[in-house]
Chains A and B, each alone.
Chain A
Amino acid sequence: MEKSDDKKPMLPPEQSPSFSRRHFLELIGMGAIGVTTLGGMVLSAEYLSPNVVKEPPMRFKIGPPEYYPPGSVTLNKEQKVFIVRAKEGYFYALSAVCTHLGCIANWKAEEGIVACPCHGSKFDREGNVIAGPAPRPLPRFAMSLDDQGQLVVDKSIVVQEEVTLKV
Chain B
Amino acid sequence: MKTVLKSVTQSQVWRSIFRHGLPLSNRTRAEAVLYSFFLHIHPAKVRKRSIKFTYTWGLGGLSAGLFVILVITGALLMLYYRPSVQQAYGDMKDLQFVVSSGQFLRNLHRWGAHAMVAIVFLHMLRVFYTGSYRPPKEFNWVVGVVLFVITILLSYTGYLLPWDQLAYWGISVGTNMVRAMPFGLGEKISFLLLGGNIVGENALVRFYVLHCFILPVFAVLLMGIHFWRVRKDGGV
B9 interface hit (Cβ, 8 Å): no
Residues on B with C-beta less than 8 A from A49 are 191-192
Closest chain B residue to A50, Cβ basis? B195
Across the interface, A50 reaches (CB within 8 A) one of B175, B176, B202, namely B202
Would you give the 0/1 interface string for A38-63, flagging 1 where the beta carbon is closer than 8 Å to chain B?
00000000001110011100000000
* Given known A101-B172, A103-B173, A118-B169, contact A55–B191 (CB-CB < 8 A): no
B224 interface hit (Cβ, 8 Å): no
Bound-state CA distance A102–B169 (Å) is: 8
B138 interface hit (Cβ, 8 Å): no
B75 interface hit (Cβ, 8 Å): no
A50, A55, A100, A102 pick with most chain B CB within 10 angstroms: A102
Would you give the 0/1 interface string for A97-140, flagging 1 where the beta carbon is closer than 8 Å to chain B?
00011110000000000000010000000000000000000000
B window 195-224: CB within 8 A of A: 195-198, 200-202
- Total inter-chain residue pairs, C-beta < 8 Å: 31
Interchain CB contact under 8 A, B173 and A53: no
- Give the interface SS of chain B, mostly helix, strand, loop or mixed: helix
B177 interface hit (Cβ, 8 Å): yes
Bound-state CA distance A101–B171 (Å) is: 10
**Contact-residue bracket for chain B:** 10 to 19
Residues on B with C-beta less than 8 A from A103 are 169, 172-173
A49, A54, A55, A101 pick with most chain B CB within 10 angstroms: A101
Whole-angstrom distance from the CB of A73 to the nearest CB of chain B? Answer: 22
Bound-state CA distance A54–B202 (Å) is: 9
Across the interface, B196 reaches (CB within 8 A) one of A48, A50, A118, namely A50
Interchain CB contact under 8 A, B172 and A55: no
Interchain CB contact under 8 A, A53 and B195: yes
Residues on A with C-beta less than 8 A from B191 are 49
Residues on B with C-beta less than 8 A from A53 are 195-197, 202
Residues on A with C-beta less than 8 A from B200 are 54-55
Whole-angstrom distance from the CB of A111 to the nearest CB of chain B? Answer: 22
Interchain CB contact under 8 A, B176 and A48: no
Interchain CB contact under 8 A, A101 and B196: no
Bound-state CA distance A80–B179 (Å) is: 19
Nearest first, the 4 closest Cβ-Cβ pairs linking A and B are A102-B176, A53-B196, A101-B173, A101-B176
13 contacts between A and B (CB under 8 A): A49-B192, A53-B195, A54-B200, A100-B176, A101-B172, A101-B173, A101-B177, A102-B172, A102-B173, A102-B176, A102-B179, A103-B169, A103-B172
Beyond A49-B192, A54-B200, A101-B176, 10 additional contacts (C-beta under 8 Å) are A50-B195, A50-B202, A53-B202, A55-B196, A55-B198, A101-B172, A102-B172, A102-B175, A102-B179, A118-B173
**Which residue numbers of B lie inside 8 Å of A, CB to CB?**
169, 172-173, 175-177, 179, 191-192, 195-198, 200-202
